[in-house]
C-alpha cells in the first residue's frame, strides 16, 4: 500500500507542473533551469535530514541519472516545435510507459505470472489509449511540423527519461541516496544544454517552485520503485496527465468543444482504470 501511495506523489506533483509553470511564465530553458535549481535545493535539505551513505558508485550513477533526465526534458520540449505540443506530450508519455514497462517485465521480471502479464498488458493499453484520447482534437494539432524529425527527437527524449529511471533500478540504488547526486546531474546537464539560450531570468527564479514540486514527485517515484517495481510505479506516475489536462481546461481557460470534452473525460477514465489495474498486478 505504501508503494502505491508513493507512486501517486509524482502523478499529483508532475501533473500540476504544466499549468503552474504557465502561470509563473518563462520559456522552456528558464523553466528547466528553475526546475533543476528547485530540485537541487530540495535535495540538500533531504541530505541533511536523512544523511544517506553516498558512496562513489551512488554519486556516479545518481549523477548519470540526472544528466539523462535533462536530456529527456530538453528533447521533449524540442519535439513540441516539430509536431506540436498536443501530439508531442501524449506520444512522449506513451513511449515512456512502453519503454519502462518493457524493462520492468523483460529485464527485471516484475510480472512473473500469466495473470500479472495479462492484467498488466491490458492496463498499459488502457493508459496509452487514455493518453491519446485526452489529447484528441486539441489546439495545435494542425501544426504538425517536421514529423520525421519530431518522432526522432521524441525517441531521444524517451531514451533519456527511461534511462533516468532504469539506471537506478539496475544498480539497486535507493531513493534517499539518489536524490542529491541526481539533482547535481540534472543541474549540470540543464546548464550545458541551456547556456546558449540565456536561461537565467526572473522566470527561472519563479520556477524554483516547480522544481520543488518535481523533486517531491521524483522522491515518491524513487521510493516506490523498490516496493512495487518499475513497470507499476512509473506507469502510475504518468496518470498526472489527467490533472494537467483538466488543469489546462478549467484553470488556464483552454477552450474545448463538447466533443473534445467527451474524449477528455473518456480518456481520463481509461488512464485511471489502467492505474488501478497496475496496482492489482502487485502481489
Q: Is 0.95 topped by the overall pTM?
A: no
Confidence tier at 59 by pLDDT (50, 70, 90) = very high
Give the count of domains, the chain: 1
> CA-to-CA distance for 281 and 209, rounded, in angstroms?
35
Confidence tier at 57 by pLDDT (50, 70, 90) = very high
- At 152 the pLDDT is 85
Range of the domain at 174: 2-280
Average of per-residue pLDDT across 165-178? 87
pLDDT at 52 over 60: yes
Confidence tier at 181 by pLDDT (50, 70, 90) = very high
Confidence tier at 167 by pLDDT (50, 70, 90) = very high
- At 27 the pLDDT is 82
pLDDT at 9 over 80: yes
- At 283 the pLDDT is 53
Q: What is the pLDDT of residues 203-254, one digit of tens each?
A: 999 999 999 998 999 889 888 888 888 778 877 887 777 777 777 777 767 6
- At 203 the pLDDT is 92
What angle is formed at CA 267 by the lines to CA 235 and CA 162, rounded to 5 degrees? 25
Q: What is the pLDDT of residues 240-271, one digit of tens each?
A: 777 777 777 777 676 667 887 888 788 888 88
Better pLDDT: 59 or 53: 59
- At 78 the pLDDT is 75
Q: What is the pLDDT of residues 117-148, one digit of tens each?
A: 898 889 889 988 887 887 665 544 444 445 56
- At 105 the pLDDT is 83
Average of per-residue pLDDT across 63-75? 91
Amino acid at each position: 500500500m505504501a508503494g502505491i501511495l508513493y507512486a501517486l506523489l509524482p502523478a499529483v506533483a508532475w501533473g500540476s507542473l504544466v499549468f503552474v509553470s504557465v502561470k509563473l511564465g518563462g520559456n522552456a530553458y528558464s523553466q528547466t533551469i528553475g526546475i533543476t535549481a528547485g530540485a537541487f535545493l530540495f535535495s540538500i535539505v533531504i541530505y541533511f535530514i536523512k544523511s544517506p551513505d553516498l558512496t562513489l558508485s551512488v554519486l556516479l550513477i545518481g549523477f548519470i541519472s540526472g544528466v539523462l533526465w535533462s536530456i529527456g526534458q530538453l528533447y521533449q520540449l524540442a519535439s513540441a516545435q516539430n509536431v506540436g505540443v498536443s501530439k508531442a506530450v501524449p506520444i512522449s508519455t506513451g513511449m515512456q510507459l512502453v519503454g519502462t514497462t518493457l524493462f520492468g517485465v523483460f529485464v527485471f521480471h516484475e510480472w512473473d505470472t500469466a495473470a500479472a502479464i495479462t492484467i498488466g498488458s491490458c492496463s498499459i493499453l488502457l493508459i496509452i489509449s487514455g493518453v491519446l484520447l485526452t489529447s484528441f482534437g486539441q489546439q495545435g494539432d494542425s501544426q504538425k511540423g517536421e514529423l520525421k524529425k519530431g518522432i526522432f527527437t521524441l525517441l531521444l527524449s524517451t531514451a533519456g527519461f527511461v534511462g533516468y529511471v532504469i539506471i537506478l533500478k539496475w544498480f539497486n540504488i535507493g531513493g534517499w541516496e539518489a536524490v542529491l547526486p541526481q539533482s547535481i546531474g540534472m543541474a549540470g546537464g540543464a546548464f550545458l544544454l541551456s547556456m546558449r539560450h540565456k536561461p537565467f531570468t526572473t522566470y527561472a527564479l519563479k520556477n524554483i517552485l516547480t522544481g520543488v514540486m518535481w523533486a517531491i514527485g521524483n522522491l515518491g517515484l524513487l521510493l516506490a520503485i523498490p516496493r512495487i517495481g518499475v513497470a507499476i510505479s512509473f506507469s502510475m506516475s504518468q496518470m498526472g496527465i489527467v490533472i494537467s489536462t483538466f488543469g489546462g481546461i478549467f484553470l488556464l481557460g483552454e477552450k474545448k468543444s463538447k466533443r473534445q470534452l467527451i474524449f477528455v473525460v473518456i480518456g481520463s477514465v481509461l488512464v485511471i482504470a489502467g492505474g488501478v489495474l497496475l496496482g492489482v498486478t502487485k502481489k
